[in-house]
Structure 1
Amino acid sequence: MKEKKKFRLFDAVLMAVVVILVVESAAPAAAIGSSQFFWWGILLILFFLPYGLISAELGTTYTGDGGIYDWVKMAFGRRWGARVAWFYWINFPIWMASLAVLFTEVMTQIFGLELGTSALIIGQLVFIWAVTFISCYPVSDSKWILNLAAFAKVAIMVCLGVLGIYHAVTKGMANDFSGKALLPTFDLESLSFISVILFNFLGFEVVTTLASDMENPKKQIPQAIIFGGILIAFFYLFAAFGMGAAVPADQLSTSGGLIDSFILLVGGINPFVIIIGLLFMYTLAANLISWALGVNYVAFYAAKNHDMPKIFAKENPKNEMPVGASVVNGVVASVLVIAAPFIPNENIFWAFFALNVVALLLSYIMMFPAFLKLRKIDPTKERPFKVPGGPVLLKIIAYIPLALLIITLFFSIVPLSSAEFTEKIPILIGTLAATIIGEICIRLGDKEYTKKEVEKNQEKGSLDHENN
């Protein structure tokens, strides 16, 4: 029998870059200004490295379909596992809505279209349901989608960085990149965008699923974390430099900033900008299609365990795809884009995208204490990769990223000045609404679980009685 080809370090690093690199978040991160270079460096060390190590241990030790949901459930019980599954899922349709808005914005931007509200909503709905339809079929797991998206992402970011260098040499910089400018200012507006950098680092646990195919996972996984993290930060910062060369940070749009930068760098809309815009639009759809299967299966798995509503447990018997979760994704995203004109926020892409970031960050909070708890209650479990260090170091590795998550979430959703009210109140209301709806769904799941357990016990009692 032909021996299965081993997954090389290069493959693991490439997958980390492909899965985690999200082009649409480059502009929100660049909106921090020159000090983003400081934040990228600090968060790479204090967040990404410990998060990557912890993901590597949990992902290679507990290899069930539930991922983070399973880890937290084993450590803290059904309800906390259900909360994680809920936030991990709900971020996806919100993300879908934000990318639908961005898709139509880029389309009108590169083709010079002027569309009314109704036409924009129709375009957004077509985008949402095209992604939803594809996600219901195995094609959503096709490698060519991921590979083509990877090419498009890297091409966009490299082109932006190269043009930025050319602009800086020939015409100067639109922003100050001197020593003082690179230091953090700790102003409220900049701190609000730091959550985007954390968001840009999430997703590494997907790479840990490859451990069984690696020649030496104990060595290759931490190497993939380090090299992958550096490459991801490089691509984001290279693109951010290009934007910084073209557009002053205080004028950078979180939605149209990337295309605006290309337009300014090349002197207007031309075939090159249109090609970049089309590649960008493709990455928006490909991101969702590539992530849909993982997100939907977590929701499907949780629903099978009565920790999510029954609708998420529906699957297509012909191809075993979780169609219930896919359809609910489309419905929720559709409701959001239809409601968008009534939301008091000028930048509706950022309103949805920020809410998506908040929901995803919330789903990761319990992962860090779960890591410590599982080390304590399940010490004999074989761990193909184990985070090195004693009890004190492990607590530091777990609690620092946990603290960073909580702090950045606070600055992302709580308006701390009158100027922030219009922008953050919709995000705060959306977060509270998502939390309340989630708790209702969890309680309903509890009732269903209790009902099934009672029926199971009654059936067992009847069988025992018959046997006696």
Structure 2
Amino acid sequence: MTQAPPIPPTEPPATGAPDQPDLPDLSEGWGEQRSRLKKDLRRLDVLFFLICTLVGLDTIGSVAAQGPQGITWMAILALVFFLPYGLLVAELGSAFPVQGGPYVWTRLAFGRLVAGVNQLLYWISNPVWVGGSLCIIALTTWEEFFTPLPGFWKYAAGLVFIWGGALAVVQSVRIGKWVPIAGAVARIVLLGFFLVSVVVFAAEHGVHALPAGEFVPTYVGFVGLVPVLIFNYVGFELPSSAAEEMTNPRRDIPLSILRSGLASVVLYGGPILGILFVLPAKEIGSLGGFIDACKAVFTVYGGSVAADGTVTLTGLGSVFGGVAAAGLIIGLLTSGVTWAMGAHRAQAVACADGAGPAWLGKISEKHGTPVRVNLLSAVLGSILFVVALNLTDGNGEKYFAAGLGLTICTTFISYVITFPSLAVLRRKYPDTPRPYAVPGGRLGTWIVSALATGLVAFTVVVLIWPGFGVGWFGSAGNAADSLPASFAGERAQYTLSQVVPLLLFVGIGLVFYAMGAKTRRRVGE
């Protein structure tokens, strides 16, 4: 049986020499690349990294569009998904603090083939996200607050957004870590100022009443909300992809998960309530909900709302609107960059280990980052952006719905494989030191794994077939109403927009694995 790199008490040695002979060996393909990593991530850096990862500004409007019950489901899922998921990653990240995080956990549990295809799905969801929903919200924000982007200029602006992020991702961790720090600060300032403005707006104009009955959770609401709410809650595993660039991953990962988890619940819940207080529920769109709410509340500093709901900002209101728009665009960009910093590192480890082409597993000697994976992601994001914008004829809402759905679906399919690793690794490697362990022994481990895995699996079904279960057995509701508004009456078109790319991604994962055959032969498998 092959041997493994050590699972170190604080820092992994540069050589990757094994001390646990029953673990797979990553040192042959990864040892040379490991020596190029730079250990510059401290506890506060990891905390900001997670805040920037968890608090995504692209889904706030989608949750608010479902009305007050979105707050109720947010609280419920915080208990039955967010908490178990955090416990799961805290144990895996502190017990196996090796570069590549989720890829390594899945590799230890299920082998290289499963882990390689799974990692491809996890990685490729990032260019889909950046070139899809993040890019379209950034462009919509620019057009709402600054100037229209007709024809060529929309394509140019989108490519600047994608490649600006790519430039940030390729930088060394010493420089690159300032991107999530800036993103976390931008979120805190933007969302905090928005909430203060909501209070001022309420004092001057009053707010929309939110009847208690609208907070009552329904199955229809759950089906509509579960994808975006759980997507809001994921990202805990990303710092583990850079575990060997941390000064003390065993200590910092669990603590950062706890603190960032509490912060993200507050930073999500407050703005969603603010949107509901400011805008009538029927006027909240999944794409522009947060943007429209910002414009409305900033009229307290200068501007007006016409009878038809059109908002005009003037004077100081216009200034604050522009600053908030810039903060939102920065927040969107840093979301993509932060996810890329984790997902790309894990993909490089997979390729160096023989689950993908070896040339993609190279770490830059100058930057200490997987530059080739980063650039390939930017190319894929650019292609997706241009193709999708043409296929939807510039329809931002349709582009947003398909892009966000595909991003979440691709990411969550990978989680369906990764999350069960917790229970499997408890059984396979019971003697591995666990600075933090899920409480409750074997039963607690199975409960946590089942809750996290079951909810993401259900979300995948709901994303591929919106309205799954609605109207069954005489229950209320119509499944067709759960389709994104931009795909009303077009179920087949929406389903194909999810299924066809997913099948393509799985095929790419198998091709990548075949391209890693030379590496696998070299390590003597």
- Scaled by the length of structure 2, what TM-score is found? 0.77
Which whole-Å deviations, capped at 9, do the CAs of 1:156-214 have from their partners, x for residues lacking one? 1112222223333443333x4232111113226x6233211111111223466599867
2:333 to 266, 274, 285: 285
In 2, Cα distance between equivalents of 1:91 and 1:393: 30
Offset from partner CA, 1:416-465 (integer Å, 9 cap, x none): 434527266555334323332333233334434445555666xx9xxxxx
Code of the aligned partner of 1:332: L
RMSD, matched Cα: 3.1
- CA change 1:330–1:452 in 2 (3 A) is closer
Amino acid across the alignment from 1:251: E
- Mapping of residues 248-327 of structure 1, within 5 Å: 248-267=280-299, 268-269=312-313, 270-310=318-358, 312-327=360-375
Match for residue 369 of structure 1?
Answer: 420
Distance 1:5 1:341 in 2: 42
**Residues 137 and 321, structure 1, Cα contact 8 Å, conserved in 2:** yes
* Partner AA of 2:355 in structure 1: D
The separation in 2 between residues aligned to 1:225 and 1:430, in whole angstroms, is: 34
Shift of 1:22: 1.6
Alpha-carbon shift at residue 240 of structure 1 (Å): 0.7
- Alpha-carbon separation, structure 1, partners of 2:166 and 2:503: 25
Give the counterpart of 2:392 among 325, 333, 343.
343
Residue in 1 that maps onto 2:205: 171
| Alignment partner of 1:243 out of 275, 279, 282 | 275
Paired residue secondary structure (1:366): helix
**Paired residue secondary structure (1:318):** coil
1:110 aligns to what? Answer: 145
Distance 1:7 1:328 in 2: 28
Distance change (3 Å), C-alpha of 1:210 and 1:240 = farther
Residues 159 and 382, structure 2, Cα contact 8 Å, conserved in 1: yes
Aligned to 1:24: 58
Q: How many residues align?
A: 449
- The answer for the alignment partner of 2:432 in structure 1 is 381
Distance 1:320 1:426 in 2: 43
**CA-to-partner distance for each residue in 1:211-252, whole Å, 9 max, x for gaps?**
9867994xx876654543232111111111111122223321
Is 1:181 the counterpart of 2:214? The answer is yes
The 8 Å contact of residues 306 and 445 in structure 1, kept in 2 or not, is answered as no
Contact in 1 for aligned 2:226/2:459 (Cα 8 Å): yes
Q: Distance in 1 between matches of 2:40 and 2:515?
A: 45
After TM superposition, the structure 1 = structure 2 runs for residues 55-454 of structure 1, keeping only pairs within 5 Å, are: 55-97=89-131, 98-111=133-146, 113-138=147-172, 141-174=175-208, 176-187=209-220, 191-206=223-238, 209=243, 217=251, 225-267=257-299, 268-269=312-313, 270-310=318-358, 312-339=360-387, 340-343=389-392, 347=397, 348-416=399-467, 417-419=479-481, 420=483, 422=487, 425=492, 428-454=495-521
Deviation at 1:315, TM superposition (A): 4.6
- Length-normalised TM-score, structure 1: 0.86
- SS of alignment partner, residue 295 of structure 1: helix
CA change 1:132–1:227 in 2 (3 A) is: closer
Measure the CA separation in 1 of the matches of 2:511 and 2:354.
Answer: 9
Higher share of residues assigned helix:
1
Using the TM superposition, name which of 88-97 and 163-172 deviates more: 163-172
Deviates more, 1:162-171 or 1:282-291: 162-171
- Determine whether 1:53 maps to 2:87: yes
Deviation at 1:342, TM superposition (A): 1.3
SS in structure 1 opposite 2:354? coil
Work out the CA distance in 1 between the residues paired with 2:364 and 2:343: 16
Q: Is the 8 A contact 1:259 1:273 kept in 2?
A: no
Q: 1:184 is matched by which residue type in structure 2?
A: P
**Unaligned residue ranges in structure 2 (runs of 5+):** 1-38, 300-311, 468-478
**2:187/2:331 contact within 8 Å kept:** yes
Contact 1:135 1:326 in 2 (8 A): yes
State which drifts further: 15-24 or 406-415: 15-24
Contact 2:169 2:176 in 1 (8 A): no
Moved more, 324-333 or 448-457: 448-457
Asked if the contact 1:102/1:255 (under 8 Å) is kept, the reply is yes
Provide the identity percentage. 24
Displacement of 1:373: 0.6
Amino acid at match of 1:107: W
Contact 1:6-1:215 at 8 Å conserved across structures: no
Which amino acid in 2 is paired with 1:402? T
Aligned to 2:69: 35
Task: Give, as a single letter, the amino acid of the residue that structure 1 aligns with 2:465.
Answer: V
Structure 1 residues 51 and 170: CA distance shift in structure 2, 3 A: same
Distance 1:205 1:453, change over 3 A: closer
Higher relative contact order (CA 8 A, sep 6+): 1
